[in-house]
Amino acid sequence: MRLSIFLSAVALLPAAFAQLSGSVGPTTKTSAKRATKTCDVTKYGAKADKTTDIGPPLASAWAACQSGGIVIIPAGDYAMKTWVTLKNGKGVGIQLDGIIYRTGTDGGNMIMIRDTTDFEFFSSTGKGAIQGNGYEIHASQGQCKGARLLRTYKVTNFSVHDIALVDSPMYHYSLDTCTNGEVYNMAIRGGEWGCLDGIDVWSNNIWIHDVMVTNKDECVTVKSPAKNILVENIYCNWSGGSAFGSLGADTAISQVVYRNIYTWKSNQMLMVKSYGGSGYVEDVVLENFIGHGNAYALDIDQYWSSMSKVDGNGVQLSNFTIKNWKGTEANGASRGPIKIACADGAPCTDMKISDFAMWTETGSKQTLTCQSAYGSGACLKAGTGKSYAMVTSTQTAATAGYTAASMAADLKSAFGTTKSIPIPALPTSYYPGQKPISAVAGA
């Protein structure tokens, strides 16, 4: 899906909103690729018997179609024992209508696409999936170990859409040094462990929308370096929550918008995490967030205890616009809805919080905390200046307008790490009251 009308509108908005720098997605239509050539993996030795290794046939089909065409993985159950790195493609797509089940035990990436342009990875039916069976490793070895399900590296003008990624041994999908990409209509479902990231992106000019993530780590997270990132209509359904980081030395992140983010029973609605380091995160908009039952709502922690301190005075955070947050946190007295702990060596500046209405599900009070943070709203200090110690304010009455919608697909419990995780159907909505921006395949 190309993004011309949207970009015309974006061009009229202030700098903090103009996050995308140009069109995203493939430059050649799927139909044109299909008319050029099709390469069915079953013609290269793949069998839908859940036993025969699809790795070599997939590599062969790619080689036959990498200069233009569609690699087709038909409906059916396929085993994957050996991983593939598919590279140097142009005008090529992979149509995953079947289900690939991990049977190999190597680390790395089950499917890695690299050094490729005008690319599409998709299901035409919305039923294509990669089942990582991570629970087999997690239960037997008691640790996260193994492969990512999918990684795109130095891929330009591309899309990944209408597929499910399930129960990865490690991270589910990484976008690494990519440009002009669109990721949408996806369901990611992982175990309840802090090493099973949903989507991690460090790239330029990327649009991620209409994605549901279940795990206990990153939902959709921006890492460094990244620029011109738009993340919207995201359903963090019993997850770790969305984030920036972890941030370290020479961080370079700018022009990022998170919009229409729904978070249920997660660690946080949005976190910025670092400890020491250097560089910047600037020109960020975080708007239209709804949350229920999360440990934290907004959590900016530049003294994050889960990472070792990195050399440097701290990552400079500036020009954050945070507005229209609604819902509830689990316990506002112990973990309040706003925590902004900025680095004393690099105080946050121009942080703007407005229309922020959250309330506690436990007890009758909640706390807001700020440290070395300047701007407007909540407990922020006006102007700019030196570092200052943590200040705390306590609210003993619910803020008007905090009530917010929930989602029918909110999970009642997590999936754990010892049993098979079922492959979900793609949702019909990823944010209350919103239809997917692009029609879900097969809907």
Catalytic residues: 217, 292
Q: How far apart are CA 88 and CA 139, in angstroms?
A: 37
Q: Read off the amino acid at residue 16.
A: A
Q: How far apart are CA 125 and CA 416, in angstroms?
A: 29
Tokens linked to 376: 């407007």
Strands 90-96 and 128-131, sheet pairing: unpaired
How far apart, in Å, are the Cα atoms of 126 and each of 104, 162, 198? Answer: 25, 5, 18
Strands 173-189 and 128-131, sheet pairing: unpaired
Question: Is the backbone peptide bond immediately before 436 cis, with ω within 30 degrees of 0?
Answer: no
Where are any strands of DSSP class E within 25-146? 38-40, 69-73, 77-80, 84-87, 90-96, 99-102, 108-122, 128-131
Q: How far apart are CA 150 and CA 111, in angstroms?
A: 5
Q: How far apart are CA 117 and CA 152, in angstroms?
A: 11
Where are any strands of DSSP class E within 123-146? 128-131
Q: CB–CB of 417/193 below 8 Å?
A: yes
Neighbours of 386 (CB within 10 A): 8
DSSP 202: E
Q: Which residues contact 297 (CB under 8 A, 6 or more apart)?
A: 268, 269, 270, 289, 291, 325, 327, 329, 336, 337, 338, 358
Q: CB–CB of 95/159 below 8 Å?
A: no
Q: Which residues contact 399 (CB under 8 A, 6 or more apart)?
A: 356, 357, 358, 359
Tokens linked to 98: 């079947």
Bridge partner residues of 327 (DSSP): 291, 358
Q: CB–CB of 281/319 below 8 Å?
A: no
- Alpha-carbon radius of gyration of the chain: 22
Q: Read off the amino acid at residue 13.
A: L
Q: How far apart are CA 36 and CA 421, in angstroms?
A: 38
